[in-house]
Chain A
Amino acid sequence: MIEVQNLMKRRGSTVILDSVSFTARPGRVTGFVGPNGAGKSSTLRILLGLDKATTGTALIKGRRYRDILRPLLTVGALLDDASPLPDRRVASHLKWVAQSNGIAQGRVHETLAQVELQDAAKLRVGTLSLGMKQRLGLAAALLGEPSILVLDEPVNGLDPDGIRWIRTFLRQYASRGNTVLVSSHLMSEMAATADDIVVINQGRIVSSGTLAAVTSGFDSLEDAFFSLTGRAVADNRDAD
């Protein structure tokens, strides 16, 4: 279970996040959608202890991420703006990550096989395609066999096969009782993957609930998204 309560983040006079609250539950894929710059990555970075909130809390199984001992055994994460060093070999990258949390080195080759990268173990990261790098990031997230996955834009740069692979993977992962929180700005993809949807725009949550509830009254999630974010912009102008 992921619980985000009243998160606020300011940088100088700029409000990045404003009272962001939502929940991601076990056994379900929660889609975190919004346009670029809406605050998706900032929210996930605070949830994962990388950035500090000005106020509010973001808890995983009732604890802050940084309070979890050997966190990779509980949470697997893939960030959009962080990638392994291009000079390092694929297996070497996973080995240092595994070592840091006392995960058996045997898991490195198991996870590489899980994301279908077993033949790339000795390649340098810089030689991988964007899709292969995304899979490597996912392999790192899966090393500790966590019950919670937090993925920031995992389908960015993937070809149709890769997107379908991620979608199937996430659905299966959640079906085993795991919690999956996945951010994206691709509405059609989220509509095909997520059970629950949280819509963020300009740092504020504009809608959240089951996919059916959020899209109720609209032809698609995309229509709901544009309508919701358009209204949010209008609301903000009214407030100003």
Chain B
Amino acid sequence: MNALNRVLSELRKIATYPMVWIVFALIIALQVYLLAQAYPNLSGMLRGVSFDTNIELFRGEVRSAGSAVLDLAAAASFQTAAFLPIVIALAIGQEYREARQLSISLLAVPRRRQFVLAKYASTAVLAIAFSIVVNLVTTIGILAAAGSWSSGLLSSPAAWLASGRFTFVCLVLALLTAGLTLVTRDVLSSIGIMIVLAVVSIGGFIGYASPAFQALLPFDAARSLLLDSSFAGSSTPLLAVLILSAWVLVFGVLGWLCVARRDA
């Protein structure tokens, strides 16, 4: 009961902090805008085909329409999830704003381990909510573009598996950002580090020198887990899950240690 109260208290903090919801809404608006921009092309390409029709969604990559649409949905959701760290950094970083809310929080929950666990649990709830909304917007967008033939596809086991993987990636990015923000005690620093990680992963700069090292980066591992095209990362899905879990574990523990050992 006490643990539940602590988590509910953290969720109240998130729910009553307007900046979180303003940024959340802007990200979803951006997703809708990007889907709307892609709508004419997608609609022209996907209407009137069937699951097994071969199409060339990306240049030089001929594949079945069903497989291509699932990958397209995953890619559309993933590009939106890249902005999730901003929401999480704001939600966690409210403790370190100039008002120094952290002291008030630790008066209420003085045991650091319990405090950090409640933070991570509320972060997970926010990440799951985010993944559901993003998935929903993507599904509606693809359905509108592809027409009725895709409705069965988007409710198929393969689609549910893809949604599960996407939720897992959102959880990882959120918990990683949460740990990072507890370490840096600064919203902009943690967002900056996540942007650098994203740019290095997606830009593939390190991959030219060391593909093995590239595979260890979180956004690269996320692509490996979510995508099944030439845009996928450089590891297998199983390895990607292990890599992503390791990132969460390391930064989760680091975040806890920083809160536990530093003066508030």
A residues with a Cβ closer than 8 A to B are 45, 48-52, 65-66, 68-72, 77, 79, 81-89, 92-93, 95-97, 99-102, 140
Q: Secondary structure at chain B's binding surface: helix, strand, loop or mixed?
A: helix
Tell me if B250 is interfacial: C-beta within 8 Å of chain A: no
Q: A99-B8, A102-B1 are in contact. Are A85 and B94 (CB under 8 A)?
A: yes
12 A-B pairs besides A49-B110, A85-B99, A100-B9 with CB distance below 8 A are A48-B110, A50-B106, A72-B108, A81-B100, A84-B101, A85-B97, A92-B16, A93-B16, A95-B12, A96-B9, A96-B10, A97-B104
CB 8 Å contact bits of B12-40 with A (1 = contact, 0 = none): 11001111000000000000000000000
CB 8 Å contact bits of B203-247 with A (1 = contact, 0 = none): 000000000000000000000000000000000000000000000
Tell me if B6 is interfacial: C-beta within 8 Å of chain A: yes
In the complex, which residue of chain B has the Cβ closest to the Cβ of A76? B107
Residue from the list B94, B100, B108, B263 in contact with A71, Cβ < 8 A: B108
Tell me if B155 is interfacial: C-beta within 8 Å of chain A: no
CB-defined contacts of B106 to chain A, threshold 8 Å: 49-50
Task: Please tell me if the beta carbons of A85 and B5 are within 8 angstroms of each other in the complex.
Answer: no
Q: Bound complex: CA of A232 vs CA of B32, how far in Å?
A: 68
Q: A51-B263, A85-B97 are in contact. Are A100 and B17 (CB under 8 A)?
A: no
Q: Bound complex: CA of A92 vs CA of B101, how far in Å?
A: 14
Task: Please tell me if the beta carbons of A66 and B101 are within 8 angstroms of each other in the complex.
Answer: no
Task: Please tell me if the beta carbons of B9 and A69 are within 8 angstroms of each other in the complex.
Answer: no
CB-defined contacts of B107 to chain A, threshold 8 Å: 48, 50, 71-72, 77, 79
Number of B interface residues, CB 8 Å?
30
List 10 A–B pairs whose Cβ atoms lie within 8 Å, in order of A's numbering. A45-B103, A71-B110, A82-B103, A85-B94, A88-B17, A89-B16, A95-B12, A96-B16, A100-B109, A102-B2
CB distance from A64 to the nearest CB of B (A): 9
Residue from B17, B99, B100, B105 whose CB has the most chain A CB atoms within 10 Å = B99
Tell me if B59 is interfacial: C-beta within 8 Å of chain A: no
CB distance from B187 to the nearest CB of A (A): 13
CB-defined contacts of B105 to chain A, threshold 8 Å: 100
In the complex, which residue of chain B has the Cβ closest to the Cβ of A143? B108
Residue from the list B8, B10, B99, B111 in contact with A82, Cβ < 8 A: B99
Q: Bound complex: CA of A101 vs CA of B106, how far in Å?
A: 12
Q: Secondary structure at chain A's binding surface: helix, strand, loop or mixed?
A: loop
Task: Please tell me if the beta carbons of B110 and A81 are within 8 angstroms of each other in the complex.
Answer: no
CB distance from A26 to the nearest CB of B (A): 21
Tell me if B253 is interfacial: C-beta within 8 Å of chain A: no
CB distance from B252 to the nearest CB of A (A): 21
Residue from the list A52, A79, A140 in contact with B263, Cβ < 8 A: A52
Tell me if B129 is interfacial: C-beta within 8 Å of chain A: no
Q: Bound complex: CA of A87 vs CA of B8, how far in Å?
A: 20
Q: A82-B104, A85-B94, A95-B12 are in contact. Are A100 and B99 (CB under 8 A)?
A: no
Task: Please tell me if the beta carbons of B12 and A85 are within 8 angstroms of each other in the complex.
Answer: no
CB-defined contacts of B9 to chain A, threshold 8 Å: 96-97, 99-100
CB-defined contacts of B1 to chain A, threshold 8 Å: 102
CB-defined contacts of B10 to chain A, threshold 8 Å: 96
Tell me if B62 is interfacial: C-beta within 8 Å of chain A: no
Task: Please tell me if the beta carbons of B110 and A96 are within 8 angstroms of each other in the complex.
Answer: no
Tell me if B133 is interfacial: C-beta within 8 Å of chain A: no
Task: Please tell me if the beta carbons of B2 and A87 are within 8 angstroms of each other in the complex.
Answer: no
Residue from B12, B105, B108 whose CB has the most chain A CB atoms within 10 Å = B108
Task: Please tell me if the beta carbons of A92 and B110 are within 8 angstroms of each other in the complex.
Answer: no
In the complex, which residue of chain B has the Cβ closest to the Cβ of A65? B110
CB-defined contacts of B97 to chain A, threshold 8 Å: 85
Q: Bound complex: CA of A96 vs CA of B14, how far in Å?
A: 10
Task: Please tell me if the beta carbons of A83 and B100 are within 8 angstroms of each other in the complex.
Answer: yes
Q: Bound complex: CA of A50 vs CA of B105, how far in Å?
A: 10
Q: Bound complex: CA of A6 vs CA of B19, how far in Å?
A: 44
In the complex, which residue of chain A has the Cβ closest to the Cβ of B263? A51
Tell me if B161 is interfacial: C-beta within 8 Å of chain A: no
CB distance from A35 to the nearest CB of B (A): 22
Q: Bound complex: CA of A100 vs CA of B13, how far in Å?
A: 10
Q: Bound complex: CA of A49 vs CA of B115, how far in Å?
A: 13
Tell me if B125 is interfacial: C-beta within 8 Å of chain A: no
In the complex, which residue of chain B has the Cβ closest to the Cβ of A42? B263
Task: Please tell me if the beta carbons of B264 and A50 are within 8 angstroms of each other in the complex.
Answer: yes
